[in-house]
């Protein structure tokens, strides 16, 4: 019998190891799996490579993971956002590595990773600094740059509802990177606002099919990053 | 709007947004960049149906919600609270950027630090070594959208021209801009030159040329003057 439900976020992230590559869903606070990130801070894994569009804000969630010295390298498209000070400060002092990737290339590299495609050509970034040193090739008279797939050891994502088998639906623009991240990790760990019986989600509406999901934690009233930032919260 | 001292003549930011909106045809699918382009959404003429795409995963973006009705999981690419119109759809990032990279977006309106007469755009980095660079979706948008409109102040805050012969800041994309809207004028970028489309009512050609770092072409006429020195 398939059993993916874990009792706690702590149990679900217990085996994330030092040096792991971790995909973390969310675009700003929308879709950020903040309870899973906080559990990862408690768990203590270090030297992580983290993939996220941003670098968190304030001193909670992803920003706190970075601030607590757990992240050696960020792969992201936009490391500066409102209330984002932790990463820019470490970067300016040469204390953290950054691989800057155009947002669509980032999404496509993860999608390719999950689909077994090792690399692909794209027009994005041709003629810019971000294409320097990369293979270029012409197709139909236009120049394209070779980009490699991204895969990871773990994905931490958030969804609105997960059923017992691991089928997922998301909430509005909180969906963002999570469906592609779920496909590209060895182990995909989900925090769900609601955990429901198999059959309660409409099969035509399922966004992430169960095959991509390994572990589920029910978090019925998740923290909102912006509330914590507004309150000046710090984790731990 | 602020009531700060405004010594500049020419079009206001809202005027620029209105000019851009007037040029967006009925039925277009449009992506608006962060900053000045965002206000285009408020100026689409009545009777015209334009669908706004925001690259974090929403087609059918509506205006900001009333105070108190913000949803932290319903935001735009600038991470501002928005609404979803009737008939909107949500999708993940790879699908959203397939819309962009696959050439399905009709018009994208972006801000600029510099635009060259060849249509090269610089709008993501000032090239500082110790500041974390941030690119977001700008390089995908310029590579993939069918048309790139730029909305910008004509000059930088220190008064330097943003429209130049060659960009000196790191490129977002090469030969990608088709039209530029500033507080002083509207240009088509065509045949390696800025072609004047419309001059703001209280700006004369000499003022325009003096504030532009490349020769301005007036269709049907010789160039208005030689490029202002940088």
Say if A55 falls within a structural domain: yes
Residue B226 has pLDDT above 50, yes or no: no
Say if A125 falls within a structural domain: no
CB contact under 8 A, B125 and A170: no
User: Domain containing A56 — which CATH number?
Assistant: 3.40.1080.10
Say if A26 falls within a structural domain: yes
B82 → chain A, closest CA residue: A173
**A173: its two tokens:** 């623009």
Say if A199 falls within a structural domain: yes
Q: What is the pLDDT of residue B221?
A: 66
A129 → chain B, closest CA residue: B170
Q: Report the C-alpha gap between A212 and A119 in whole angstroms.
A: 21
CB contact under 8 A, A27 and B90: no
Express each pLDDT in A108-138 by its tens digit. Answer: 999 999 999 999 999 999 999 999 999 999 9
Q: Does A144 touch chain B (CB under 8 A)?
A: no
Cβ(B57)–Cβ(A176) under 8 Å? yes
Say if A158 falls within a structural domain: yes
Q: What is the pLDDT of residue A98?
A: 97
Domains: count for chain A: 1
In terms of DSSP H, where are the helices of chain B?
A: 13-22, 93-101, 138-144, 205-210
Q: Report the C-alpha gap between B45 and A181 in whole angstroms.
A: 40
Q: Report the C-alpha gap between B181 and B162 in whole angstroms.
A: 12
Express each pLDDT in A162-195 by its tens digit. Answer: 999 999 999 999 999 999 999 999 999 999 999 9
CB contact under 8 A, B74 and A79: no
Half-sphere exposure of B135 (CA within 13 A, CB side): 31
Residue B73 has pLDDT above 80, yes or no: yes
Q: How far is A82 from chain B (nearest CA, A)?
A: 9
Other Cβ atoms within 10 Å of B220 Cβ, number: 5
Residue A219 has pLDDT above 80, yes or no: yes
**B124: its two tokens:** 């993501």
CATH number of the B13-217 domain: 3.40.1080.10
Q: Does B96 touch chain A (CB under 8 A)?
A: yes
Percent of chain B with pLDDT over 70: 92
Residues of B known to be catalytic: 55
- Please state whether B175 falls in left (phi above 0), alpha (psi between -120 and 50) or beta: left
Q: Report the C-alpha gap between A12 and A14 in whole angstroms.
A: 6
CB contact under 8 A, B93 and A28: no
Torsion angles phi and psi, residue B144, rounded to 5: -115, -30
Give the structural domain span for A28. Answer: 5-117+151-223
Q: Averaged over B56-71, what is the pLDDT? A: 95
Q: Averaged over B99-121, what is the pLDDT? A: 98
In terms of DSSP H, where are the helices of A29-139?
A: 34-43, 61-67, 86-92, 103-114
Q: Does A83 touch chain B (CB under 8 A)?
A: no
Residues 109..128 of B with a Cβ closer than 8 Å to A: which?
A: 125
**B96: its two tokens:** 């959203």
Q: Residues of B117-136 as b/e, b for ≥16 C-beta within 10 angstroms?
A: bbbbbbbbbeeeeeebbbbb
Q: How far is B74 from chain A (nearest CA, A)?
A: 5
CB contact under 8 A, B140 and A104: yes
Mean pLDDT of chain B: 91
Q: How far is B81 from chain A (nearest CA, A)?
A: 11
Say if A12 falls within a structural domain: yes
Q: Residue ranges per domain, chain B?
A: 13-217
Say if A139 falls within a structural domain: no
Q: Does A191 touch chain B (CB under 8 A)?
A: no
Q: How far is B36 from chain A (nearest CA, A)?
A: 17
**A93: its two tokens:** 């002092």
Residue B132 has pLDDT above 90, yes or no: no
Express each pLDDT in A1-30 by its tens digit. Answer: 999 999 999 999 999 999 999 999 999 999
């Amino acid at each position: 019998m398939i059993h993916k439900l874990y009792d706690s976020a702590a149990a679900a992230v217990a085996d994330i190891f030092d040096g792991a590559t971790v995909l973390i869903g969310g675009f700003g606070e929308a879709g950020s799996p903040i309870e899973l990130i906080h559990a990862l801070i408690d768990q203590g894994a270090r030297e992580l490579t983290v993939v996220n569009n941003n670098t968190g804000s304030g001193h909670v969630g992803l920003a706190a993971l970075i601030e607590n010295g757990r992240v050696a390298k960020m792969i992201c498209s936009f490391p500066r956002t409102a209330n984002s000070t932790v990463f820019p400060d470490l970067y300016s002092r040469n204390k953290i590595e950054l691989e800057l990737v155009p947002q669509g290339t980032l999404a496509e590299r993860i999608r390719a990773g999950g689909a077994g495609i090792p690399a692909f050509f794209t027009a994005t970034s041709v003629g810019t600094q971000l294409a320097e040193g990369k293979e270029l090739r012409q197709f139909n008279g236009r120049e394209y740059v070779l980009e490699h797939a991204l895969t990871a050891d773990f994905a931490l994502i958030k969804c609105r509802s997960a059923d017992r088998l691991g089928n997922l639906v998301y909430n509005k623009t909180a969906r963002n990177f999570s469906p592609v991240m779920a496909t590209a990790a060895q182990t995909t760990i989900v925090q769900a606002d609601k955990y429901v019986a198999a059959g309660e989600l409409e099969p035509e509406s399922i966004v992430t099919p169960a095959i991509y999901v390994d572990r589920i934690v029910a978090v019925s009233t998740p923290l909102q990053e912006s509330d914590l930032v507004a309150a000046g919260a710090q984790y731990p | 709007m602020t009531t700060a001292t405004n010594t500049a003549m020419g079009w206001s930011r809202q005027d620029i947004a209105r000019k851009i909106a007037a040029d967006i045809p009925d039925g277009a699918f449009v992506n608006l960049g962060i900053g000045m382009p965002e206000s285009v959404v408020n100026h689409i003429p009545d009777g015209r149906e334009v669908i706004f795409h925001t690259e974090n995963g929403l087609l059918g973006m509506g205006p900001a919600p009333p105070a108190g009705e913000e949803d932290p999981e319903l935001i735009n690419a600038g991470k501002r609270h928005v609404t979803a119109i009737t008939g909107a759809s949500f999708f993940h990032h790879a699908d959203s950027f397939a819309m962009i990279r696959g050439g399905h977006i009709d018009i994208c309106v972006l801000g600029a630090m510099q635009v060259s007469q060849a249509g090269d755009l610089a709008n993501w980095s000032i090239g500082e070594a110790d500041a974390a660079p941030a690119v977001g979706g700008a390089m995908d948008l310029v590579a993939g959208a069918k048309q790139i409109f730029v909305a910008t102040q004509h000059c930088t805050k220190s008064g330097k021209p943003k429209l130049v012969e060659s960009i000196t800041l790191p490129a977002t994309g090469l030969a990608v801009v088709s039209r530029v809207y500033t507080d002083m004028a509207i240009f088509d970028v065509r045949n390696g030159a800025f072609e004047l489309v419309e001059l703001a009512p209280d700006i004369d050609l000499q003022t325009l040329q003096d504030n532009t770092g490349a020769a301005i072409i007036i269709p049907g006429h010789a160039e208005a003057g030689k490029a202002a020195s940088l």
